[in-house]
Structure 1
Amino acid sequence: MESTTNGTTLDPNLYNADELVPPKWINGEFFESVLKTAKKGDIKKILNFNITPASAKGDHYASIMFRTIVQYLDKSDIQQEISLIVKTMPEEEGTKKDFLSDAPIFQVEIQMFDEILPKFEEMLRSVGDNTILSAKMLYHTLNPRKVIVLEDITKKGFSAIGKRMCTIEEAKMALEKLAKWHACSYVLNEETNGSLEKLTNGIYNMSGLKTDWFTKGVERVAQLAHETPKLHKYAEKLDQVKHLIMPKCYKTYEISKDKININVLTHGDFHAKNLMFKINPKTQLSEEVMLIDFQLSVWCSMVTDLLYFIYLTIELESREKYFEELIYYFFSIFRDTLKLLNYKGKIPTFSDLHTDMLTLCHVEIYLATTLLPFMVSLLENPQKEPNDILSYVDKQYECYQSQMYIDQIQPILERLLNRGYFDNVIDYKDEE
């Protein structure tokens, strides 16, 4: 099916299906409201606007997004132009809408853009660090529809990473900003008597997590281990934990509140497609990064962000080679930022971090057996959308049987086995 947006024919192979045609309410009246808010009334008339999808097929999931170039007259009758990103909820019936319908993701993201991220940046500036974490929100509303309008940072030279994974240099760039974010939240939460602890909705307690893809990962890897000679040695351990991982995942935020040493406000969905890099035109290397998409930010252990990022953002060879180095790099910046912010409490130690990793070992097992095969399948088949995997249950096990995934999961299972992570889950099964 072909679709046109303001006379432009869009290729359905390049964009998400639900972004080929914008909702009818995204019109001149809507943009007049947006610009009057963003420009504080300094607008006389909308002249024209052109709407296109804001990202490539498969680049995001938890919203639909459009890029709009709006031409308008200001109060002095001077013609101006602005590029905007409009985020809203999917309106088409289907898996995507069902997955997101009950989650307070827009309320969380609005709070992040409106209150929390500006406060983090203010805290850093007060100690001489001019880090900018994200784009700016220009407009938002929850009624009659959930909508967020952001500045378009592609106009500042930033672009999405596309179908590739991050280089180690890009990973460190992103982890540096994440570490500073975590440190700011650690300090701010204490100064505001636990205000950030009210953010309790993340990926592990979304109702959509209870669908087949998200609940059967460990079971499918256990089956794969029985069927694949190079994975046979892990089959017994996987059988022993396959019914224990999801109950522990559902309690991740509860466990964090009660037991984890280093709780922070996490990004919650920190991977390559939620980063935008600015490329130096001469060297073709990334020189700056912006974080995007804060719909799943939740108060819990920093380990959840750290492991999520390493598993879903870095290719296999680099992941295993630099695993420990990246963790050390991130945590060192976290500690240094606490000191820079003149934090007066006890600064967490590396021992605390490793305790967190062991306590939340079920999260790493979940990532390796459930979200990693999802990511590998999308990398192997760039034409696929997330819905193509989530909607066809009968085809899902094929993602696990791919040679690329088998090659990735073997060294991971070896590391998890040798760290005693499977045994730790088994030993504490009676707590569930």
Structure 2
Amino acid sequence: MAFNKDEMHAPVWLNERFFETILKQSEKDASIVITDCKIVPGSRLGDHFASIIFRANIAYQSRGTKNNEISLIVKTIPEDDGVKRDLLKNGEVFETETIMYTTVVPEMHRLFRSVGDDTELGPRLLYSSKEPNLVMVFEDLTKRNYDTKSNQLDLQEAKIAYSKLAKWHAASMHLVNTIPIITKLDKDIITISNDTFNKIWDNNIAILAKVCREWPGYEAYGDRVDNLRKGICSKTKDIYKFSESTLYNVLNHGDFHYKNMMYKIIEGKTQDIFLLDYQLSIWGTPAIDIIYSLYLMCSAETRNNHRDELIKFYYDEFVASLNKFGYLGKIPSLINLHVEILKNGHLEVFLASTFLPFMMVPTEEMVGEQMNKNSDEGIELFDMNNPEKMAEMLLASYRNPKYAAAMQKCLPVFLHKGLLDL
């Protein structure tokens, strides 16, 4: 995950005047005066690839009342130089998310309501602006009893997430002629990445090759994995490009992993899931979201034991939604979906080789307990501008027993499907 040191410290322009302007607008009340404002990091170090996030706890008075409180989530870009600022500074991903929150998702919600479906996809956007700073402000879902999770999803949770994803995909197919701009969304996680990230991913694959040679019985995979460095990024980039050969297209969420979700958990059981971060939404093969989620959302146990069951579950929800919406086009078959997943299978290899350890291995196990409080020690260990510390953390992550067990399961499958060949 990308990280800049200043994502732990709010910029000076995030102040009482800024939030007072937003509240006057969102609450339609010009009398609002902020009496206190506390800003803290809104996520754990490195949790978000394409943003930095803060939580603002605000006290204010309005029309004679003095004890009003509200909590807001602020998304912006780093001000200090670093890999994340380089990635985000042109604002393209913020443009995508603005389109999603102001145009696409509201239309999806209207479509749901028109057929009696009260599904909510994500939080309410209260404010967004490009100038003088790229910033978006959202409702704080913790006030609605939604919270984050520190581990990937089990079968029951995955089905809740796939139900939301199926409705999202089906709505995009139904609305594509009404909202043609969705076919122009093309800023995905690969195409926005710069040379720095390409080098990081190349290095990650090299580390995997190294640890393969350390695993008894898997030594021969070392050379095969090493050879992936010659072209796996190019293969992955092609998957994200729009292609006429794709059997059918949907609007992918594009970053469908468990850290981009919030969970309503009652008595230890997840009841609902909200989807976050629409910055990388992209029109293309549904295989993008399905493959991405199988590795970066689902636990290894869930993926290994329920993969086809979950794909069928998603597909049934997708078809049911299309029928409910009155979709008049040809409905894709389950075989069509499986064909898309298989022919785009190099995305599985890329994600398993580069992103998976950061989703499987808890942050504390990567860099130690000093991460618990987003401490300066943790920052130093998780700073991509500190090569020595990053190398130490990366090697430990790839050697972690959880990741090792997952890859030892994946590598023979990849081999037998021909996915270790380019």
TM range (shorter): 0.7 to 0.9
Deviations 1:288-324 (A, max 9, x none): 1111111111112111111111211222223211111
**AA paired with 1:262?**
Y
Distance 1:385 1:410, change over 3 A: farther
Pick the aligned partner of 2:306 from 296, 319, 322.
322
Deviations 1:344-373 (A, max 9, x none): 110011111111112211111101111113
**AA paired with 2:280?**
L
Matched, 1:352 2:320: no
**AA paired with 1:286?**
T
Alignment partners' CA distance in 2, 1:386 and 1:96: 15
Q: Paired residue for 2:84?
A: 96
Matched, 1:294 2:294: no
Q: Paired residue for 1:157?
A: 145
Deviations 1:101-158 (A, max 9, x none): 3451211111111111111111111111110001100111110001111111111101
Q: Paired residue for 1:107?
A: 95
Does the aligned pair in 1 maintain the 2:5–2:383 contact within 8 Å? Answer: no
**AA paired with 1:107?**
E
Matched, 1:128 2:116: yes
Q: Paired residue for 2:349?
A: 365
Does the aligned pair in 2 maintain the 1:53–1:66 contact within 8 Å? Answer: yes
Q: Which moved more, 1:115-124 or 1:22-31?
A: 22-31
Alignment partners' CA distance in 1, 2:45 and 2:224: 37
Does the aligned pair in 2 maintain the 1:378–1:386 contact within 8 Å? Answer: no
Matched, 1:117 2:105: yes
Q: Paired residue for 1:304?
A: 288
Pick the aligned partner of 1:250 from 228, 233, 237.
237
Distance 1:390 1:48, change over 3 A: closer
TM-score normalised over the length of structure 2: 0.88
Q: Paired residue for 1:409?
A: 407
Alignment partners' CA distance in 2, 1:122 and 1:356: 29
Pick the aligned partner of 1:261 from 235, 244, 247.
247
Distance 1:146 1:387, change over 3 A: farther
Distance 1:249 1:389, change over 3 A: farther
Q: Paired residue for 2:420?
A: 422
SS at match of 1:231: coil
- Percent identity between matched residues is 34
**AA paired with 1:338?**
L
Deviation at 1:169, TM superposition (A): 1.1
Alignment partners' CA distance in 2, 1:201 and 1:19: 23
Distance 1:16 1:95, change over 3 A: closer
SS at match of 2:420: helix
SS at match of 1:158: coil
Alignment partners' CA distance in 2, 1:385 and 1:167: 30
Deviation at 1:94, TM superposition (A): 2.0
TM-score normalised over the length of structure 1: 0.86
Alignment partners' CA distance in 1, 2:47 and 2:87: 17
Does the aligned pair in 2 maintain the 1:35–1:43 contact within 8 Å? Answer: no
Matched, 1:63 2:63: no
Alignment partners' CA distance in 2, 1:232 and 1:389: 31
Deviations 1:228-249 (A, max 9, x none): 3322354564455441211111
Q: Paired residue for 1:77?
A: 64
**AA paired with 2:326?**
N
Matched, 1:335 2:329: no
Matched, 1:32 2:28: no
Does the aligned pair in 2 maintain the 1:378–1:385 contact within 8 Å? Answer: no
How many positions carry a matched residue from both structures? 404
Q: Which moved more, 1:44-53 or 1:170-179?
A: 44-53
Distance 1:310 1:43, change over 3 A: farther
Q: Paired residue for 1:3?
A: none
Q: Which moved more, 1:46-55 or 1:264-273?
A: 46-55
Alignment partners' CA distance in 2, 1:120 and 1:61: 25
Matched, 1:181 2:168: yes
Alignment partners' CA distance in 2, 1:238 and 1:404: 19
Q: Paired residue for 1:10?
A: none
SS at match of 1:348: coil
Matched, 1:51 2:39: yes
In structure 1, runs of 5+ residues without a counterpart are 1-14, 427-432
Alignment partners' CA distance in 1, 2:401 and 2:88: 32
Alignment partners' CA distance in 2, 1:301 and 1:176: 18
SS at match of 2:70: strand
Does the aligned pair in 2 maintain the 1:174–1:289 contact within 8 Å? Answer: yes
Alignment partners' CA distance in 2, 1:215 and 1:206: 16
SS at match of 2:43: coil
Q: Paired residue for 1:388?
A: 382
Q: Paired residue for 1:205?
A: 191
Matched, 1:167 2:154: yes
Matched, 1:272 2:270: no
**AA paired with 2:248?**
I
Does the aligned pair in 2 maintain the 1:274–1:292 contact within 8 Å? Answer: yes
Deviations 1:71-95 (A, max 9, x none): 2233x32333222111111112223
Q: Could you list the structure 1 runs, at least 4 aligned residues long, displaced by more than 6 angstroms after superposition.
A: none
Alignment partners' CA distance in 2, 1:218 and 1:19: 27
Does the aligned pair in 2 maintain the 1:109–1:294 contact within 8 Å? Answer: yes
**AA paired with 1:308?**
Y
Alignment partners' CA distance in 1, 2:32 and 2:361: 49
Distance 1:216 1:335, change over 3 A: farther
Does the aligned pair in 1 maintain the 2:264–2:271 contact within 8 Å? Answer: yes
Alignment partners' CA distance in 1, 2:104 and 2:382: 35
SS at match of 1:288: strand
Q: Which moved more, 1:130-139 or 1:101-110?
A: 101-110
Alignment partners' CA distance in 2, 1:303 and 1:288: 24
Deviation at 1:25, TM superposition (A): 1.0
Q: Which moved more, 1:148-157 or 1:58-67?
A: 58-67
